[in-house]
Structure 1
Amino acid sequence: MDPKDIEVVYGTVAPPETSVGLVPVDLTADTWNERLHKICSRMKEEGLDALAVYGDREHGGNFAYLTGFEPRFEEAVLVLKQDGQAVLMLGNENRKMRAHSAIRADLVHVPYFSLPNQPMGNDKDMAGLFADAGIEAGMAVGLAGWKMFTSQLEDNSQLFDVPCFIVDGIKTAAGHGTLKAASHLFIHPGHGARTTVNANEAAHYEFGSALASDCVYQAMDRLAPGMTEMEVAGYMCSLGQPVSVTTICATGERFQGAVVFPRNKKIRVGDKFSLTMGLRGGLSSRAAYVAAGEEDMEDGVKDYVDVMAKPYYRAAACWYGNIKIGMTGGEMYERIDSVLPRDEFAWSLNPGHLTADEEWMSSPIYSGSDIQFRSGMMLQMDIIPGKAGYGGAGAEDGIVLADEALREKIQADYPETWKRFERRRRYMERELGIALGPEALPMSDIAGYMRPYLLNRGCAFKIAGRQDTMI
């Protein structure tokens, strides 16, 4: 069956069951050792004598992958050798974190990483400090920031996304050696160490993803005309967990007065509305209207469901129902383009991407991609359509792909996590008509659940018949 012929129905749908008593799952010593081995083996493959891994509060994913922490309000660098020897270069207020690092590491104090006007006490420049950390003249050094540059330039290995004073310090310390960009060791969608997870990591990240989805669902279910954005956002309680994106709770026009956070702005019937929360492991997002039905919509958007929301949901259901191990990112990209044409719905970003500690790590889903989906990949369904005059339509959530061996390991070691995966799969298939492949495990309690009219809490979209006929 042509996916475009799949019938999206708006009608009575039982609400999803949210998780109760979520408990964080810590990463084990075996997982930390596995992570270190994965990076060291990739260093050997690329002939790197040393790897410098940068981190700061906003860009700490690769650094924390090995250390277990981000450097909060300072910068930091982890210098790693092929044999696993490590040195943490930390500022004034992060020095104590060396004792809590997930991998054993020596310490080099770098006052330059400290906050403005704190005591510096510098007796060495950055080159000298990198020499203390083990960078020697003649070494082949990789520098990992947080992104890869995938432009068509002939040599992207010399594009660095870290502060210049760090790059210059390493170059001077390495002397006649070489320095090249190395974030791909961590996040390249085809071979990066971080792009697949084991059972322990899947359970660890499922906690954050489930909590984020339940926060969004609670806010969506409690919003009402007359409430303010801040009042609704108050239901998005993250239990102190660090957010991976700016929390969105916005009614009507967003970004007025350059404000991006929830405001004391009252919600009105007929407003377009956006809700987003991202925690480590996953993001949930919804875009719809504050309405009970078409009668609450302004004249110019009364056809919103047929023109925007249903086509979007068809594409989302197609994404969930077709993703499988061995499929290429290019195949997924073309499938979504055929169901929800870019030229008509104005989406431009990748229709899905990898996620982890950060909301967007990298993506195997782009035009022409030959990168295959693999067991252990955590992927977010992320399609952003647009039509002039209409509010957005969105229902973003994530899954983890798991082959039979990984599924058995999760079930054996983390039975409560496994029960939630099974519950979500049953809900999507039986209530929403979206049949998942056996390897697709929903990380969110509200995956596939979309209400175009937020005030009608008993109705949502579903697929008529069995959606697996799309595969």
Structure 2
Amino acid sequence: MKIVTSEIAQPTISQKLFPVDLSQTTMEERKNNLLTKMKEHQLDTIFIYADREHGSNFEYLTGFIPRFEEACLVVHSNGSAFLLLGNENTKMGSYSRIAAEVIHVPYFSLPNQPMEDDAPFTSYLVQAGIHEDSRLGLIGWKNFTTAYQDNRSLFDLPHFIVSGLEKLVASPAQLMNYADLLIGPSDGLRTVNNANEIAHYEYGAALAGQCILTTLNRIKLGKTELDLAETLAASGQPHSVTTICATGDRFTNAVLYPRNKQVQLGDTFSLTTGYKGGLSSRAAYIAQSPKDLPAAVQDYEEKIAQPYYQAFVTWLETIRIGMTGKELFDTIQTILPKENYHWELNPGHFTADEEWMASPFYEGSTSILKSGQLFQIDIIPKVKGYGGVSCEDGIVLADNELRAEIQKEYPEMWERFSKRRDYIINELNIQLSEDILPLNDIVAYYRPFLLNQNLAFSVKK
């Protein structure tokens, strides 16, 4: 495989993107699947915590997050459910996608708000059906049961919640971390999606790709990060990550957000935006050609960008339903050795409501890749003295049955998938298995020199 830089037509942006709501059938499936898992693990109750940053496991069943407050969802093995909500979210109980009794918990409200229903915290837990014999699975947002450790007694819920539960049960051993029921890389319920869920998430992933391409096409010398960042937001949709629009050195004065800083020739440059369903990111240099780069990094294209893109292409051409996470991890390690390119994280991960759910791609992983799984291609090389390189986007794996269902139920999305596959295969010369459906229009489209909108990487075999 040889990576070449040549004149490549830009991908065509999809028109008339609209969000797709999750169906009631999907929401009922989610709850029933959870109840089945609870029975398998002999759990009486699942207790799910949420706040604005860590609400996806809660949202998976309720359909909403508690915004600026905290909340808990209690689901019992008999199917009954309770929503523990603060002052400004009690009204959301009537909108919950699963039937649940609302319990007002003032402790989950904002500081110094009225505490009119104040009572010992344990009393709210008792109202929610927690008792001394309860065997509880606690779910925050982190899965501490991994290939490296099996630690179910480590919790990422606030102390006052765990402490309250400990006061009610007969033994601390009755409280266990069961986040892996939802996000575990081998059989977490949230890692596999049906056609309706894929349609729901494809909207955000596609929106992110459109924002990135629009912004790439607006890059000019003298424009500021603030100017360019305007097109990294769209349709009022909530971001799943902090927006990045950074030219030159990042994080000056610890600033994480776009600054009033002008783009200059030879700058490194990073763009990232993400919504439910996926993130898109690009990193390269502000240049027309290698001649515009600082002398010390004029070999950036062949030393960093091309090896990275070769690993990226290998990822796309290798991934398939039925392979293990270890196989893909080992393949990337062979193509882009960690000891030379210093990537530290997993070469890809699950995505959904949050940008990073969990990952099956790690050394020794026995997790089997399945139809219906959404992945971010996320390889981050770091070579001292050189700017970054990034072409991050998402894909979904779909077998014959799921593809047929998508084609039947969501023909417009199927047409977008087909168009994207055609571009990747015929314009970029990347061979995709039938299992791979690209989640946005710019998957695999990468410009190493951002001022030249005609040049992009492709494969010459």
Normalised TM-score (structure 2): 0.98
Map of 2:8 onto structure 1? 13
CA–CA distance in structure 2, aligned partners of residues 153 and 312 of structure 1: 28
Question: Does residue 440 of structure 1 match 2:436?
Answer: yes
Indicate yes or no: 2:312 matched with 1:316. yes
Task: State the shift of 1:82 in Å.
Answer: 1.2
8 Å CA contact 1:90–1:107 kept in 2: the answer is yes
Q: What is the CA deviation profile of residues 301-360 of structure 1, one whole-angstrom value per residue up to 9, with x for unaligned ones?
A: 111000000000000000011110011110000100100110000001000000000000
Match of 2:131 among 133, 136, 155: 136
**What CA RMSD, in Å, does the superposition of the two structures yield over aligned residues?**
1.1
Give the aligned partner of residue 335 of structure 1: 331
- Give the whole-Å Cα distance in 1 for the aligned partners of 2:400 and 2:147: 39
Return the alpha-carbon distance in structure 1 between the equivalents of residues 120 and 359 of structure 2: 38
Residue identity in the other structure for 1:14: A
Q: Which amino acid aligns with 2:266?
A: G
Q: Deviations over 1:264-314 (max 9, x none)?
A: 111101100000011000000000001110111110111100000000000
CA distance in 1, matches of 2:420, 2:141: 32
1:20: how far off? 1.1
Q: Contact 2:49–2:140 (CA<8 Å) still a contact in 1?
A: yes
Alpha-carbon deviation of 1:151?
A: 6.7
Letter matched to residue 238 of structure 1: A
Q: How far off its partner does 1:32 sit?
A: 0.3
CA distance in structure 2 between the partners assigned to 1:378 and 1:343 by the alignment: 28
Q: Could you tell me which residue of structure 2 aligns to residue 469 of structure 1?
A: none
Counterpart-to-counterpart distance in 1, 2:391 and 2:167: 49
**Are residue 366 (structure 1) and residue 362 (structure 2) matched?**
yes
1:128, 1:173 within 8 Å by CA — same for their partners in 2? no
Secondary structure at the aligned position of 2:155 is classed as: coil
State the alpha-carbon separation in 1 of the partners of residues 62 and 337 from structure 2: 43
In 2, Cα distance between equivalents of 1:46 and 1:52: 14
Pairs aligned (count): 460
Identity of aligned residues (%): 50
Which residue matches 1:409?
405
Instruction: Please say if 1:426 is aligned against 2:422.
Output: yes
- Taking the aligned partners of 2:425 and 2:51, their CA distance within structure 1 comes to 41
- The letter of the residue matching 2:307 is P
Give the gaps of 5 or more residues in structure 2.
none
- Tell me the SS of whatever aligns to 1:222: coil
Match of 1:180 among 139, 153, 176: 176
Aligned to 2:162: 167
Structure 1 segment 81-230 matched on structure 2, within 5 A: 81-150=76-145, 156-176=151-171, 178-230=174-226
Contact 2:286 2:450 in 1 (8 A): yes
Residue 288 (structure 1) aligned to one of 284, 288, 299:
284
Q: Verify the 8 A CA contact 2:145 2:180 in the aligned structure 1.
A: no
The one-letter code of the counterpart of 1:84 is: G
C-alpha contact 2:320 2:433 (8 A) present in aligned 1: yes
1:113-158 per-position Cα deviation (integer Å, ceiling 9, x unaligned): 0000000124421211100011111110111000112578865111
1:302 maps to 298
Mapped pair 1:44 → 2:55: no
**Separation in 2, partners of 1:454, 1:49:** 56
Question: What is the rounded CA distance, in whole Å, between the counterparts of 2:361 and 2:4 in structure 1?
Answer: 28
Query: 1:66–1:102: 8 Å Cα contact kept in structure 2?
Result: yes
> In structure 2, what residue type is equivalent to 1:440?
I
Aligned-pair CA distance for 1:97: 0.3
Q: Could you say which residue in structure 2 is the equivalent of 1:464?
A: 460
Secondary structure of the residue that 2:232 maps to in structure 1? Answer: coil
Q: Residues 152 and 19 of structure 1: is their aligned pair in 2 closer, same or farther, counting only changes over 3 Å?
A: closer
For 1:286, give the aligned amino acid.
Answer: R
Shift in alpha-carbon separation, 1:297–1:155, aligned structure 2, 3 A: closer
Q: How does 1:367-382 map to 2 (within 5 A)?
A: 367-382=363-378
Cα offset for 1:174? 2.4
Counterparts of 1:123 and 1:93 in 2: how far apart (Å)?
15
Q: Distance in 2 between matches of 1:272 and 1:354?
A: 28
Match for residue 26 of structure 2?
A: 31
Measured against aligned partners, the alpha-carbon deviations of 1:204-247 in whole angstroms (never above 9, x if no partner) come to 10000000110011001111110000100011222111111000
Contact map agreement 2:228 2:245 (CA 8 A) in 1: yes
Name the amino acid aligned to 2:69. Answer: E
Corresponding residue SS for 2:88: helix
CA distance in 2, matches of 1:150, 1:137: 25
Specify the code of the residue in structure 1 equivalent to 2:267.
D
User: Gapped runs of 5+ residues in structure 1?
Assistant: 1-5, 466-471
- Where does residue 55 of structure 2 map in the other structure? 60
Deviates further, 55-64 or 171-180: 171-180
Query: Residue 315 of structure 1 aligns to a residue in which SS?
Result: helix
Structure 1 segments of 4+ aligned residues over 4 angstroms from their partners? 150-155
